[in-house]
């Protein structure tokens, strides 16, 4: 009996202090953020309760609305681009090629580099190299920087996000492909399954769990995009590339909208939870069916 108590006590000592730390620096600021969202706090000085006014104003604020539209557009397009290319890359890297580990290592490289510095390098590439290249081949579309265009700057951000994320998703798809036994392919080959058909009916269903992981990872990461925006456009031109995180940071920390942006952050939190949970449910159900 004494032994049992010793065990219980030790387990509690292993858990409680760490849990308190988690509470203090995760749950407590979360609660405080929710409280601030009902005030007109500017980040300094005194403040008072404003009830739901911040939330009502959020839905009327065009800048906030645009940042949600931009962020979702970016997340959806980048997720599709990244997953299509990653899948192709994974099939290629898992195929019959020489120097497999070299190629895998090389193609994974972008993922370990810091997003901010990568953003700065691509910023230069978009601003100087591509326009200079446009001059050489005489294309007027390429001669101005993509990042300076209100309509197209987001494409630049998609490219940079994709460049780094494809590496990660490819590696996950490769490990998915490696779980498929060799005889599945051979059986498929005997049945005459080739090309896209083979992929659709044989390979894809078997790596569906890895597809789920990639979808959830991608959407969540891209919805929270920040570094790339900071390095490439700082939300411009004309606020056309302001992501939600960037807007909260920019206006909340230095724009005197502390309380208002806290309300924005609460909505953002709810959106992330809804998106992640829905995604896992839909994709989870699909997996069960198979």
Partner 1 sequence: MKIKSKGINRTNWPVMILLIIGLVTIIFPLYMTIVIALKQPSEMTNSIQGILSLPEKFSLANFAEAMRVTDFWHSLGYSLIITLITVALSIVLHSMIGYAVGRNKTKSKGYNFIYLYIVSGMFVPFAILMMPLVKQTAQLGLDNWVGVIILYVVFYMPMNLLLYSGYLKNIPVGLEEAAYMDGSSTWRTYWKIIFPIMKPMHATVAVLTALGTWNDVMTPLVIMSGSGSNTLPLAQLTFQTQFGTNYNLAFASYLLALLPILAFYLICQKQILNGVVNGAIK
Give, as ranges, the residues between 10 and 69 that touch partner 1 (CB under 8 A): 10-12, 14-15, 18-19, 21-22, 25-30, 32-33, 36, 43
50 CB contacts (<8 Å, ≥6 apart)? 38, 39, 40, 259
Evaluate the CA torsion angle 156, 159, 162, 167 in order and state its sign.
negative
Region near partner 1 per CB under 8 A, out of 46-54, 97-105, 138-146, 198-206 = 97-105
- Residue 290 CB, nearest distance to partner 1 (Å)? 18
Q: Residue 112 in contact with residue 153, Cβ under 8 Å? A: no
Within residues 107-166, the interface with partner 1 by CB under 8 A covers 107-118, 120-122, 124-125, 128-129, 132-133, 135-136, 163
Dihedral angle computed from the Cα positions of residues 230, 231, 237 and 239, in that order, rounded to the nearest 10 degrees? -10
Per-residue contact flags (x/-) with partner 1 for residues 168 to 187, judged by CB under 8 A: x--xx--x----------x-
Within residues 218-237, the interface with partner 1 by CB under 8 A covers 224, 226-227, 230
Nearest in space to 86 (alpha carbons), one of 213, 197, 214, 270: 214
- Residue 117 CB, nearest distance to partner 1 (Å)? 5
Within residues 232-271, the interface with partner 1 by CB under 8 A covers 244-245, 248-249, 252-253, 258, 261-262, 265-266, 268-269
Region near partner 1 per CB under 8 A, out of 51-59, 68-76, 92-100, 146-154 = 92-100
- Residue 167 CB, nearest distance to partner 1 (Å)? 9
Region near partner 1 per CB under 8 A, out of 50-58, 66-74, 144-152, 167-175 = 167-175
Nearer to partner 1, 154 or 268 (CB): 268
Contact pick of 49, 56, 105, 286 for partner 1 (by CB under 8 A): 105
Size of site (CB under 8 A) for partner 1: 87
Nearer to partner 1, 101 or 151 (CB): 101
User: Does 84 interact with partner 1 (rule: CB under 8 A)?
Assistant: no
- Residue 151 CB, nearest distance to partner 1 (Å)? 24
Distance CA 226, CA 242 (A): 9
Contact pick of 84, 189, 238, 282 for partner 1 (by CB under 8 A): 189
Buried b (16+ CB within 10 A) or exposed e, 102-122: eebeebbebbeeebeebbeeb
Region near partner 1 per CB under 8 A, out of 50-58, 59-67, 73-81, 106-114 = 106-114
Distance CA 219, CA 182 (A): 32
């Amino acid at each position: 009996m004494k032994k049992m108590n010793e065990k219980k006590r030790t387990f509690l000592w292993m858990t409680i202090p760490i849990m308190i730390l988690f509470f203090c620096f995760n749950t407590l600021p979360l609660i405080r953020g929710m409280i601030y969202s009902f005030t007109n706090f500017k980040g300094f000085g005194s403040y008072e309760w404003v009830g739901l006014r911040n939330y009502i104003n959020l839905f009327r604020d065009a800048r906030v609305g645009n940042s949600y539209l931009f962020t979702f557009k970016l997340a959806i397009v980048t997720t599709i681009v990244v997953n299509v290319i990653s899948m192709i890359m994974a099939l290629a890297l898992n195929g019959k090629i020489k120097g497999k580990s070299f190629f895998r290592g090389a193609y994974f490289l972008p993922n370990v580099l810091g997003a901010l510095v990568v953003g700065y390098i691509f910023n230069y590439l978009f601003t100087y190299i591509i326009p200079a290249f446009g001059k050489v081949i005489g294309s007027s579309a390429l001669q101005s920087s993509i990042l300076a265009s209100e309509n197209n700057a987001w494409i630049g951000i998609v490219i940079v996000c994709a460049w780094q994320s494809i590496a990660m998703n490819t590696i996950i798809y490769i490990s998915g492909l490696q779980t498929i036994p060799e005889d599945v392919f051979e059986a498929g080959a005997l049945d005459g399954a080739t090309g896209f058909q083979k992929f659709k009916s044989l390979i894809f269903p078997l790596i569906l769990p890895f597809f789920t992981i990639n979808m959830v990872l991608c959407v969540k990461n891209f919805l929270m995009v920040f570094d790339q925006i900071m390095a490439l456009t700082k939300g411009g031109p004309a606020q056309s590339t302001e992501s939600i995180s960037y807007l909260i940071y920019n206006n909340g920390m230095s724009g005197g909208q502390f309380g208002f942006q806290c309300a924005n952050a609460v909505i953002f939190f709810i959106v992330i939870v809804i998106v992640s949970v829905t995604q896992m449910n839909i994709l989870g159900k699909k997996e069960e069916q198979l």
